[in-house]
Each structure stands twice: as C-alpha cells, then as structure tokens.
C-alpha cells in the first residue's frame, strides 16, 4: 500500500497571537502536525496537517480585520485546505463593531457558505456556554473580570445578543438539548436554523463531549468559528474521513540546550500570581518600570547586564507585571497605549539580547508582549509542541534551536514558569 501524500486539511485564522498557539496546541495534542505562521506569509503553505495563521485582528477596525482574514483565507485555500476555522478568544473578546461577526460573515461569503456555528467554549479552562450564555468558571461572563477589560469589555453574557449586534445576518442558538443528543440531532438543529434564515448560530457546550459532537456535526461545513475548544474534536473527524493519520510524534520538539529565561509583560491576575510565586521561591527576578522607561532610562541594557552573569546558574525573570491599581496609575500618567508600547519595546529588546547571550528556552507571558517578542526575534513560523498547561504549548522557531512558550495572560497554574522550563532541555 502506498501512503497518500499529506495535504493540508485544516486552515485556521486566529485573531491574536497566543490564541493561535492555543488552537494549534489543541490540534497537536490529538496528533495533527501543525505549523503556526505569523501573519500571512508570501511563500507557499508549509507541509503540515493544519496551518494556523496568527493575525492581530481582534481590536483593529472591523474593515481591516475582514481584509486580513480574507487574505489569510485565500492563502490557506491556495494551500488546499479542506476546512477552515476562525479562532477567537474563549471569552468572546469583541466590541459592538466586531470583529467576530464581520469576519465570520465575510469568511462565509468568501466560501460560498450560508451557515457556521459560533462557540467559544473551552471547559478545561472554565469557559462553558449554556442557553447561549457564556460562563467563566461559575460566573456569567458579564460578572467576570472581563467586564473591566480595557479594550474589549464584555458586559453581556448572552452571546446571541452580542453576536447579533455585530452581524448583518440572523444569529440563532444551537441549544444544549440538541447537542446532548449527539451528532445527528445537532445536525438536524443546524438544518432547522438554516431553514429559519440563521447564518451564525451560537452553540452550547459544557464539556469536551459536547465539543466533539459539534466538531462532528460541522464535518460537512466549510467554516467553523470557535474558541480553541471545538478543535479538540476535529482530528477524530478527519481521521474517520481518512484525511489524516494521527502522528504520535506530532508534538515532538528537539532538545536545544542553552540558557533559559522568562519575560513577563502581562498584568493579568494569573500572571501576577506566577511572578509572585517565582520571586517568593527566591529565583532571580528584575522589574522594569514603565515610568522609568518614559524618562528614557536604558532599562533593557541594564536588564541584560544584570542577567549576563546569572544565566549560567539557571533561568532569570525580567518582568513589568504589576497589580491592576498600579498599572492604572502608570496609565493615567503615560496613557495606556504609550505605557504598553514602552514596556513591549523594552521586553522585546531584552528578548533579543537574551538570545544573543545564549538563551534558547524562553517563556513569555502576555499576548501583546508575545507578539512583540516574536517579532523582535524575527520568528515567522513556529512548530507546535506539547502542552505545558491547557492552551499553552512549547513551540520551536522553525529551523532554529530556539524554543518559545507564549502564555496568554490568564492561562497557567501558579508555578507555570518553572513547570514550563522543567519540560524542555
């Protein structure tokens, strides 16, 4: 028997950087060889079962998000992808203008399709959807910390209402009652909704079995829109269709040796706890201060001078992480945008310097921070390895002996930094 050539099965368009890594991790975990690219590359689609295009389109103007997402779609289509996945945040981060609705509708139009689900559920991380309402842990989304998010405050937990406000077409609901009855009942529900003119349907899911049911029910649809959760069910669907052979080595990354470090530019609750845990364990840590950066102090150079003699003895942490009240103070002086940019530029410069000093394993906390670091390191393609915690895998900069773990702010256990670094040599 000759083995059929591997062709691209799934093309994913992710609206932010750590979100892209999250969904890629989900696919790798189930044996799909997955590559993540940063932005839409000029070259051909790399050889893999799934390719994830990481965009930065969550909070850009909707028209820009649509244009970039369509460019990613065309590139993935040229690579022969059989199904497409628009990945957004498990807390449905968006505004009344978008960008989930406008991008989903533009992708549907471009694919000549009339229906897709919308399901941010990720039960392993406490995100569940029931009766169209999104829960974060035991709280409704609108009662969670997300109601205070600086860019995408989520004040309404009804995703049907939220998505309808950003969509031209009709938004409906795939109720848990149908999902719980399995794939056929879920598909019948899709057909009923289509007959009513629904183009986007929020789908309930409270556990991994529901995500698998939804993935199976979407098998004939060109587009899935979801958080990373639904991707959990896709490899089994593709395997049943004979499109992939799960690869037990899909998550294998090489051993790279070298020094190790952590950079943290996230001020989320989980990251604050992780930084505190590291410092309380007596590990080397240096803080960079946004106000000092604004005064032109050369903090990146100072951080590198500090790190240089320490690296041989073990990993170091350079962080800008602060509690929310202190961040607000800094933002009121500098403006949120300027403060963020100063810190991102500084940490990006530290990242480049650390790699020059021989760091080969780097943990980065923060979505925007990760984007800045990856860009500074000139990484355009990441191979995805095994998970450290749900949603956060190790990755390898393609073709280079450099491993990166890019952690979205609120992900990871309190000992995440240590746990990540212990996993790779």
Q: Is 269 left (phi over 0), alpha (psi -120 to 50) or beta?
A: alpha
Of residues 146 and 327, the one with the C-beta less far from ligand ADP: 327
Q: Which of 340, 385, 390, 391 binds ligand ADP (CB under 6 A)?
A: 340
Helix (H) or strand (E) holding 384: strand 381-389
User: What is the spatial distance between Cα 342 and Cα 100, in angstroms, rounded to a whole number?
Assistant: 29
Per-residue contact flags (x/-) with ligand ADP for residues 279 to 308, judged by CB under 6 A? -----------x------------------
Given a contact cutoff of 8 angstroms between Cβ atoms, the answer to whether 394 and 423 are in contact is yes
Q: Which of 369, 381, 395, 396 binds ligand ADP (CB under 6 A)?
A: 369
Phi (first) and psi of residue 142, to 5 degrees: -70, -15
Of residues 104 and 267, the one with the C-beta less far from ligand ADP: 267
If you write DSSP's letter for every residue of 262-299 in order, what string do you get?
A: EEE---SHHHHHHHHHHHHTT--EEE--HHHHHTT--H
How many residues of this chain bind ligand ADP (CB under 6 A)? 21
Given a contact cutoff of 8 angstroms between Cβ atoms, the answer to whether 392 and 407 are in contact is yes
Given a contact cutoff of 8 angstroms between Cβ atoms, the answer to whether 376 and 346 are in contact is no
Of residues 178 and 368, the one with the C-beta less far from ligand ADP: 368
Question: Min. distance of Cβ 9 from ligand ADP in angstroms?
Answer: 29
Note whether 349 binds ligand ADP by CB under 6 A. Answer: no
The 10 Å Cβ neighbour count of residue 68 is: 21
Q: Which residue has the tokens 């035991």?
A: 138
Note whether 233 binds ligand ADP by CB under 6 A. Answer: no
Q: Which of 202, 409, 417, 424 binds ligand ADP (CB under 6 A)?
A: 409
User: What is the spatial distance between Cα 357 and Cα 345, in angstroms, rounded to a whole number?
Assistant: 18
Q: Which of 8, 327, 355, 362 binds ligand ADP (CB under 6 A)?
A: 327
If you write DSSP's letter for every residue of 228-247 in order, what string do you get?
A: SGGGGGHHHHHHHTTS----
C-alpha to C-alpha distances, 89 to 108, 115, 190, 199, 305, nearest whole angstrom: 19, 20, 23, 20, 37
Q: Which of 339, 350, 362, 392 binds ligand ADP (CB under 6 A)?
A: 339
Note whether 102 binds ligand ADP by CB under 6 A. Answer: no
Q: Which of 210, 344, 389, 418 binds ligand ADP (CB under 6 A)?
A: 344
Of residues 201 and 267, the one with the C-beta less far from ligand ADP: 267
Given a contact cutoff of 8 angstroms between Cβ atoms, the answer to whether 235 and 30 are in contact is yes
Q: Which residue of the chain is nearest ligand ADP when measured via CB?
A: 409
Question: Min. distance of Cβ 149 from ligand ADP in angstroms?
Answer: 9
Question: Min. distance of Cβ 300 from ligand ADP in angstroms?
Answer: 13
**Is the bond leading into 245 cis (omega within 30 degrees of zero)?**
no
Note whether 54 binds ligand ADP by CB under 6 A. Answer: no
Is the four-CA dihedral 320, 323, 328, 329 of positive or negative sign? negative
Q: Which of 224, 267, 376, 405 binds ligand ADP (CB under 6 A)?
A: 267
Of residues 315 and 340, the one with the C-beta less far from ligand ADP: 340
Note whether 366 binds ligand ADP by CB under 6 A. Answer: yes
Note whether 266 binds ligand ADP by CB under 6 A. Answer: yes
Question: Min. distance of Cβ 186 from ligand ADP in angstroms?
Answer: 33
Q: Which of 120, 132, 229, 265 binds ligand ADP (CB under 6 A)?
A: 265
Question: Min. distance of Cβ 146 from ligand ADP in angstroms?
Answer: 11
User: What is the spatial distance between Cα 417 and Cα 160, in angstroms, rounded to a whole number?
Assistant: 37
| CA-based nearest residue to 203, from 107, 104, 61, 137 | 104
Note whether 320 binds ligand ADP by CB under 6 A. Answer: yes
Question: Min. distance of Cβ 334 from ligand ADP in angstroms?
Answer: 7
Strand, coil or helix: 265: coil
DSSP 13: E
Residues forming the site for ligand ADP (CB under 6 A): 265-268, 271, 290, 320, 322, 327, 330-331, 339-340, 343-344, 366-369, 408-409
């Amino acid at each position: 028997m000759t083995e059929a050539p591997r062709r691209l099965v799934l093309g994913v368009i992710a609206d932010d950087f750590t979100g892209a890594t999250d969904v890629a991790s989900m696919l790798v975990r189930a044996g799909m060889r997955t590559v993540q690219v940063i932005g839409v590359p000029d070259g051909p689609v790399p050889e893999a079962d799934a390719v994830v295009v990481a965009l930065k389109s969550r909070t850009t103007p909707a028209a820009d998000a649509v244009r970039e997402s369509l460019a990613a779609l065309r590139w993935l289509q040229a690579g022969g992808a059989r199904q497409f996945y628009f990945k957004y945040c498990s807390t449905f981060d968006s505004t009344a203008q978008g960008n989930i609705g406008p991008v989903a509708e533009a992708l549907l139009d471009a694919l000549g399709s009339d229906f897709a689900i919308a399901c941010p559920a990720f039960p392993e991380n406490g995100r569940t959807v029931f009766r169209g309402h999104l829960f974060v842990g035991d709280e409704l989304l609108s009662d969670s910390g997300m109601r205070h998010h600086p860019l995408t405050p989520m004040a309404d937990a009804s995703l049907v209402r939220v998505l309808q406000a950003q969509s031209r077409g009709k938004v409906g609901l795939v109720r848990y009652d149908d999902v719980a009855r399995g794939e056929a009942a879920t598909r019948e529900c899709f057909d009923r909704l289509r007959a009513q003119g629904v183009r986007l349907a929020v789908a309930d899911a409270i556990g991994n079995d529901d995500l698998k049911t939804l993935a199976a029910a979407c098998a004939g649809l060109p587009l899935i829109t979801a958080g990373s959760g639904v991707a959990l069910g896709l490899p089994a669907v593709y395997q049943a269709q004979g499109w992939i052979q799960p690869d037990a080595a899909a998550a294998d990354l090489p051993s790279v040796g070298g020094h190790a470090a952590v950079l943290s530019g996230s001020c989320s609750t989980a990251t604050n706890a992780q930084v505190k845990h590291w410092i309380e364990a007596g590990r080397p840590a240096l803080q960079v201060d946004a106000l000092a950066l604004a005064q032109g102090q050369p903090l990146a150079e100072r951080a590198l001078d500090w790190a240089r003699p320490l690296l041989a003895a073990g990993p170091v942490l350079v962080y800008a992480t602060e509690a929310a009240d202190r961040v607000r103070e800094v933002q009121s002086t500098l403006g949120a945008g300027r403060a963020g940019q100063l810190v991102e530029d500084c940490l990006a410069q530290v990242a480049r310097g650390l790699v020059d000093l021989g760091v080969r394993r780097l943990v980065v906390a923060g979505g925007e921070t990760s984007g800045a670091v990856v860009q500074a390191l000139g990484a355009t393609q990441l191979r995805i390895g095994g998970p450290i915690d749900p949603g956060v895998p190790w990755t390898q900069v393609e073709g280079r002996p450099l491993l990166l773990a890019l952690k979205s702010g609120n992900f990871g256990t309190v000992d995440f930094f240590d746990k990540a670094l212990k996993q790779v040599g």
